[in-house]
Amino acid sequence: MHTLDGVSRPDQYRALGLSTFAFTVCFAVWTIFSIIGVKIKQELGLSDTQFGLLVATPVLTGSVSRIFLGVWTEQFGGRIMFPLQMLITSVCVWLLTSVQTYEVFLIAALGLGLAGGSFIVGVAYTSRWFEKERQGTALGIFGAGNVGAAVTNFAAPFLVVAVGWEGTARVYAVVLAITAVLFFLLAKTDPVQQQRKVSGEGPVSAGSQLEPLKDIQVWRFATYYFFVFGAFVALASFLPRYYVGAYGLELTTAGVFAGLYSLPGSVFRALGGWMSDKWGARWVMYVTFIVSLIVLFIMSYPQTSYIVSGITGPIEFNFGLSVGVFVALTVVLGFVMSLGKAAVYKHIPVYYPHHVGSVGGLVGMIGGLGGFFLPIAFGVLLDVTGVWTAPFMLLFVIVAISTVWMHVAIRRMERARHPGLADERYLSDVPEAPLAAPADTPSNDTAGAAVRPAE
């Protein structure tokens, strides 16, 4: 565990503030195609398949890039990696305005996706500035930077009207480049990198950083994030279509209702971090999964009519959710998913304090891939079943599997740590010391449980 000797509160707030601002800008850039994509499609005369690939490419690369960006941040520090990542991305965004062919657009979109990888850079950098007891709150505040998507939704349309989509992309590229320069000038080297400079120790090897990925527990955390983040991104893009198709609403109204889901899914992440610090990340994950199961079960039930043969004739019953009730359920779902996103990343620096970048990168990558694959799965389900609520049925199954896996794994760890609890039904949430060194990382959920926290 790194020490925080000489780190003041202003140093911590500086690191958190700069990281959150940079991540907000990056997330706004990552979602820029939601506004300018239609114009690009019209100008290039793209087919729906070509357009779908173009829009999906930043999501895919933003997810995959998190694993190596996390490793490099652990090696070289966030003060170097964050500005470098933003500068490369800004060049790719600027490239959008000058290309003429679809293939080069794909290359530019590939680079633009690096903006999504900024999340793990900020997590690794921010976590090094805070004590374990405050990391959940700090990472929750940082994660609220995904409100950058709302910034794009509100600001970019006005920019497109004023300066066109090319001008909008240029504005975004310049803002991102300025943010990179400001971050490098104002940010300080994190405590771990500072200690390495003083001691003359070299960067940690990529091999040792990737060692914990053999641990099945890491993949279990990734499964949680596949839902709380991946499904969040997927639903944010699917709900407008759902409201238009299932309820016959106008697109503008559907967009507002979808925004009511997205907003709590972003801004309450800080609350989830604080709750994870106060009551434990495990407790927050139980709340997230249980509430999600209830909400998704209700949302999954399709509009249904029953006809019962009564004494005096047929009696018809109708069941279905009004649009108002459905919107309220999505707000609740977005809220608990926001808490869950913070809780997942509270686990990582506690269980793997020496591998935040690599472990967090893998978890973030799997979560991001959920945002790429789930919309495709939603479309397939709609085509195959013809039932509008089928995507929510899929999400219910994913949450049910994650809940069972989490509970079984926790019970196994508790019994391994305290054999006398074999018949105990009530679980504690008292953390113990995290793993001391990379070499001590166990290969499964039960091995080495005696030294794992109960978060």
Q: Which one is predicted more confidently, 47 or 286?
A: 286
Asked if the model's pLDDT at residue 454 lies above 50, the reply is no
- Distance from C-alpha of 120 to C-alpha of 108, rounded to nearest angstrom: 21
Q: Is residue 199 part of a domain?
A: no
- Distance from C-alpha of 344 to C-alpha of 351, rounded to nearest angstrom: 11
Q: Helices 232-247 and 251-267 meet at what angle, rounded to 10?
A: 150
Q: Is residue 205 part of a domain?
A: no
Residue from 225, 264, 214 nearest 398 by CA: 225
Of 191, 221, 243, which residue sits at a domain end? Answer: 191
For the stretch 219-266, pLDDT in tens is 888 888 899 988 887 887 778 778 878 888 876 677 778 778 877 777
Q: How many domains does the chain have?
A: 2
Q: Is residue 328 part of a domain?
A: yes
Contact 378, 238 (CB under 8 A): yes
Same domain, 446 and 370: yes
Same domain, 170 and 254: no
Q: Helices 132-143 and 323-351 meet at what angle, rounded to 10?
A: 140
Same domain, 93 and 159: yes
Q: Is residue 200 part of a domain?
A: no
Q: Is residue 196 part of a domain?
A: no
Cα radius of gyration (the chain):
23
Same domain, 274 and 407: yes
Same domain, 238 and 124: no
- Distance from C-alpha of 281 to C-alpha of 274, rounded to nearest angstrom: 10
What number of H helices and E strands is found in the chain?
A: 18, 2
Average pLDDT, the chain: 80
Q: Is residue 281 part of a domain?
A: yes
Same domain, 285 and 181: no
Q: Which of 3-12, 168-177, 267-276, 415-424 has the highest mean pLDDT?
A: 168-177
Q: Which domain holds residue 59?
A: 1-191
Of 159, 191, 223, which residue sits at a domain end? Answer: 191
Same domain, 174 and 292: no
Q: Is residue 130 part of a domain?
A: yes
Tally the C-alpha atoms within 13 A of residue 87's C-alpha that lie toward its C-beta: 11
Same domain, 129 and 46: yes
For the stretch 149-168, pLDDT in tens is 777 767 777 888 888 888 98
Q: Which one is predicted more confidently, 64 or 185?
A: 185
Q: Is residue 92 part of a domain?
A: yes
What was the pLDDT predicted at 213?
65
- Distance from C-alpha of 265 to C-alpha of 144, rounded to nearest angstrom: 9
Same domain, 364 and 454: yes
Q: Look up residue 313 and give its DSSP letter.
A: S
Asked if the model's pLDDT at residue 202 lies above 70, the reply is no
Least confident piece of the model among 115-119, 138-142, 377-381, 419-423: 419-423
Same domain, 325 and 219: yes
DSSP three-state, residue 82: helix
What's the CATH number where 446 sits? 1.20.1250.20
Asked if the model's pLDDT at residue 217 lies above 90, the reply is no
The arithmetic mean of pLDDT across residues 378-396, rounded, is: 88
Same domain, 44 and 171: yes
**Helix/strand/coil percent split, the chain, to 5:** 80, 5, 20
Residue type, 402: S
Element (H, E) at 306: strand 304-309
Same domain, 396 and 438: yes
